[in-house]
Chain A
Amino acid sequence: MENSLKFDELQRSKIASMFIDDKYVITKAICNELEKGKKAAIGEVRTWGGKQFKKVYDGWEPVGGGEKRSKVEEGDVDKKDAQNMANDKKGGASKVQGLGIFNDTHIYQSVRKSETPETLTKNCNKILKSSDTNQRKSIELFKNGLHIHEIVNLTGTPLSATIDYINKAKKQGEFGNATQSSTRTNNDSADENGNTPIELNGVEIPDIPIQARWDSYANNGTMIACGISKSMFAYGSGGVGKTYTLLDEDEGVFSRLKMRKADLNPALDDVSEAEGPLEVQTEDGEDSHIGINPQTGDRFLKKDKYDYIVVSGKLSATRMFELMQEHNGKLIVFDDCDSVLKNDDGVNVLKGALDTTGDGTISWEGKGSLTTGYAGIRGAQRRTDNKGNPVPKWNLPKTFKFNGQIVFISNYKSKNIPQPLRSRADLIDLTMTRQETIDKVESIMYRSKFKDSKGNRIEVTKENREKALHFMQKYIRKIETDDLNMRTFTKIAKQYQFAEQTGQDEQTALSNVIATTFPRKINPND
Chain B
Amino acid sequence: MIDPIKIKEKGLKAFSNKELDELYATLSRGIENGEPSKTMKDIEAEMQSRYDDFNKTKK
A-B complex is real:
yes
Q: Is A203 positioned at the interface, with any CB of B under 8 Å from its CB?
A: yes
Contacts of A79 in B (CB 8 A): 37
Contact B32 A95, beta carbon cutoff 8 Å? yes
Q: Which residues in window 10-54 of B have CB below 8 A to A?
A: 17-18, 20-21, 23-45, 47-48, 50-52
Q: Is chain B's interface secondary structure helix, strand, loop, or mixed overall?
A: helix
CB contact under 8 A between A77 and B28, given known A149-B40, A160-B20, A201-B48: no
Smallest CB-CB separation from B3: which chain A residue? A29
A150-158, A318-326, A460-468: which lies at the interface: A150-158
CB contact under 8 A between A77 and B41, given known A87-B32, A88-B30, A152-B24: no
| Cross-interface CB contact of B48 among A94, A153, A163, cutoff 8 Å | A163
Q: How large is the interface on A (under 10, 10 to 19, 20 to 34, 35 or more residues)?
A: 35 or more
Q: Mark A20-38, 1 if CB is under 8 A from B, else 0.
A: 0000010111101000000
Q: Is A359 positioned at the interface, with any CB of B under 8 Å from its CB?
A: no
Complexed CA–CA distance, A50 and B45 (Å): 32
Complexed CA–CA distance, A406 and B35 (Å): 40
Contact A32 B1, beta carbon cutoff 8 Å? yes
Contact A159 B36, beta carbon cutoff 8 Å? no
Smallest CB-CB separation from B47: which chain A residue? A163
Which of the listed residues B8, B34, B52 has the most CB atoms from chain A within 10 Å of its own CB? Answer: B34
| Cross-interface CB contact of B47 among A25, A49, A159, cutoff 8 Å | A159
Q: Is A15 positioned at the interface, with any CB of B under 8 Å from its CB?
A: yes
Contact B25 A153, beta carbon cutoff 8 Å? yes
Q: Which residues in window 182-209 of A have CB below 8 A to B?
A: 198, 200-201, 203
Contact B35 A103, beta carbon cutoff 8 Å? yes
Contact B24 A90, beta carbon cutoff 8 Å? no
Which of the listed residues A12, A160, A201, A203 has the most CB atoms from chain B within 10 Å of its own CB? Answer: A160
Q: Is A148 positioned at the interface, with any CB of B under 8 Å from its CB?
A: yes
| Cross-interface CB contact of B38 among A80, A85, A163, cutoff 8 Å | A80
Contact B8 A159, beta carbon cutoff 8 Å? no
CB contact under 8 A between A198 and B52, given known A149-B40, A158-B21: no
Contacts of A64 in B (CB 8 A): none
Contacts of A516 in B (CB 8 A): none
Contact B1 A28, beta carbon cutoff 8 Å? yes
Complexed CA–CA distance, A36 and B20 (Å): 21
Q: In the complex, how many angstroms separate the beta carbon of A29 from the nearest chain B beta carbon?
A: 4
Contact B1 A73, beta carbon cutoff 8 Å? no
| Cross-interface CB contact of A198 among B5, B18, B24, B41, cutoff 8 Å | B41
Complexed CA–CA distance, A157 and B54 (Å): 19
Q: Mark A59-81, 1 if CB is under 8 A from B, else 0.
A: 00000000000000111111111
Contact B7 A75, beta carbon cutoff 8 Å? yes
Contacts between the two chains (Cβ within 8 Å), count: 135
Complexed CA–CA distance, A394 and B36 (Å): 63
CB contact under 8 A between A85 and B44, given known A30-B3, A73-B8: no
Contact A100 B33, beta carbon cutoff 8 Å? yes
CB contact under 8 A between A159 and B43, given known A29-B2, A30-B3, A84-B27: yes
Complexed CA–CA distance, A88 and B34 (Å): 13
Q: Is A167 positioned at the interface, with any CB of B under 8 Å from its CB?
A: yes
Q: Mark A81-107, 1 if CB is under 8 A from B, else 0.
A: 101111110100011001010111000
Complexed CA–CA distance, A83 and B40 (Å): 13
Q: Is A480 positioned at the interface, with any CB of B under 8 Å from its CB?
A: no
Q: Is A482 positioned at the interface, with any CB of B under 8 Å from its CB?
A: no
Smallest CB-CB separation from A153: which chain B residue? B28
Q: Is A58 positioned at the interface, with any CB of B under 8 Å from its CB?
A: no
Complexed CA–CA distance, A150 and B33 (Å): 10
Q: Is A365 positioned at the interface, with any CB of B under 8 Å from its CB?
A: no
Q: In the complex, how many angstroms separate the beta carbon of A13 from the nearest chain B beta carbon?
A: 12
Q: Which residues in window 492-507 of A have CB below 8 A to B?
A: none
Contact A80 B37, beta carbon cutoff 8 Å? yes
Contacts of A98 in B (CB 8 A): 32-33
Q: Is A393 positioned at the interface, with any CB of B under 8 Å from its CB?
A: no
Complexed CA–CA distance, A79 and B5 (Å): 12
Contacts of B44 in A (CB 8 A): 148, 159, 163, 198, 200
Contact A84 B43, beta carbon cutoff 8 Å? no
Q: In the complex, how many angstroms separate the beta carbon of B30 from the nearest chain A beta carbon?
A: 3
Q: Mark A131-167, 1 if CB is under 8 A from B, else 0.
A: 0000000000000000111101100001110011001
Closest 5 CB pairs of A and B: A84-B30, A80-B37, A77-B4, A75-B8, A149-B28
**A/B interface sample: 22 pairs, CB < 8 A:** A27-B5, A29-B2, A29-B3, A29-B4, A29-B26, A32-B1, A76-B5, A77-B4, A77-B7, A81-B39, A81-B40, A85-B26, A102-B33, A102-B35, A152-B25, A153-B29, A160-B20, A160-B51, A164-B51, A167-B48, A200-B45, A200-B48
Where the two chains meet, the residues of B that have a C-beta atom closer than 8 Å to any C-beta of A are: 1-5, 7-8, 17-18, 20-21, 23-45, 47-48, 50-52
Where the two chains meet, the residues of A that have a C-beta atom closer than 8 Å to any C-beta of B are: 7, 11-12, 15, 25, 27-30, 32, 49, 73-81, 83-88, 90, 94-95, 98, 100, 102-104, 147-150, 152-153, 158-160, 163-164, 167, 198, 200-201, 203
Extra contacts besides A78-B38, A160-B21 (10): CB < 8 Å: A15-B26, A29-B4, A75-B8, A76-B7, A84-B37, A90-B32, A103-B35, A159-B43, A198-B42, A200-B45
